[in-house]
Amino acid sequence: MKHIIVTSFILTCLLSYSAKAQYAPYGNSFWQDLSLINPAQVGYAEQAVVAVGSRQQWNNVPGAPETQWLSMQSSFAKNNAGAGLRLVMDQIGVNKMTAINASYAYRIRGRNGTLALGVNAGYNQMKTDYQLLTLEHQDDTRLQHSDENSQGLNFGAGLLYSNNTFILGLSMPSIMPVKGKDGEAIMGQHIYGYAAKIFGDKDRIVFKPTAMVNYGLGSKMDWEVNGNFLFKNVLWAGVGTRSLDAYQASAGMRLMDSMTLMYYYEWATKPPSGLPLNTHELSFRVDWNLFSFQKKSSTIY
């Protein structure tokens, strides 16, 4: 009985928190492939890229958020354009979200940098399955719906300015929110702004500070800052914070200069349930030359 009450309380906190945030799957490893939040990023590496990631949030809480993602992209037209596909699956409690999107970016080269204009289009689905709940009273009429589905098309756009040592991005990957049966948005509209800068020599030590702002229309604004070091173009290490509500540490390795494996650990300082909440995240990325005009990228993502 006590376990049911505690689990129900935690799920209530999680679902309430999710409703306010209006579903926008997000993770630390999105820095490994920013095309997940900005279509203008496709083609930025001027190579073919495949990246996967998994985020297990609040691992000691039943029904806590879990996110998996896969992205594929490549530059083409002599690196003047890019295209990609991405799949994001996110689950919290009884709610499961799946998003499939295709992205295209056109790159305008200037003397001091490159401006990319990107668009994305795709399909989002939200499924609610009440059968996943463990109920004390199985005949509760309020939860007898076996499942509920909401789906809709999605469109987004973004801008990116970059050179070999700096990126500045602005995007809105979900211009059209997906609404539930009651007409309330369950996958909301979020605006992302971010920047990153490279200092140092990648053959010795590189310092890469990053910053991001995430504003959900109708909800609060979150921000994030990180400091990352790359040693001998092989080992990554970094720390950061998200709105001072959570702190992060990361470590990773570049293998054969074409593969990157990253691990992220995050602990929340102000969890909604009052319990110690830790998050683990893992990502893997591979870059290679798919076309003859592509070459080993000088950028450090």
The CATH number given to whatever domain includes residue 15 is 2.40.160.40
pLDDT, average across residues 279-292: 92
Q: Is residue 298 scored above 60 in pLDDT?
A: no
Q: Assess if residue 85 is contained within a domain.
A: yes
The residue among 236 and 272 whose pLDDT is bigger is 236
pLDDT at 187: 65
pLDDT at residue 281 greater than cutoff 70: yes
Confidence grade of residue 184 (pLDDT, cut at 50, 70, 90) = low
Whether pLDDT at 274 is above 70? no
Q: Is 34 among the domain residues?
A: yes
pLDDT at 260 (0 to 100): 93
Mean pLDDT of 123-134: 77
User: Is 299 within the bounds of a domain?
Assistant: no
Query: Does 226 fall in a domain?
Result: yes
pLDDT digits (tens, 9 = 90+) for 199-230: 998 788 999 999 999 998 877 789 999 999 99
Q: What is the mean pLDDT of the chain?
A: 82
The string of pLDDT tens digits covering residues 24-72 is 666 677 788 899 899 999 999 999 999 999 998 877 677 788 899 999 9
pLDDT for 211 equals 95
Mean local confidence (pLDDT), 265-273: 77
Model pLDDT, residue 142: 59
**Environment class of 238 (CB within 10 Å of its CB; exposed 0-12, middle 13-18, buried 19+):** buried
Q: Span 76-94, mean pLDDT?
A: 92
| Residue 153 included in any domain | yes
**Nearest one of 91, 122, 101, 123 to 18, comparing CA atoms:** 91
- Per the domain annotation, does 135 fall within a domain? yes
Which range marks the domain in which residue 149 is found? 2-288
Tell me whether residue 295 is in a domain: no
Number of domains in the chain: 1
Residue 8 has pLDDT above 50, yes or no: no
Average pLDDT over residues 116-144: 75
pLDDT at 24: 62
Q: Is residue 293 part of a domain?
A: no
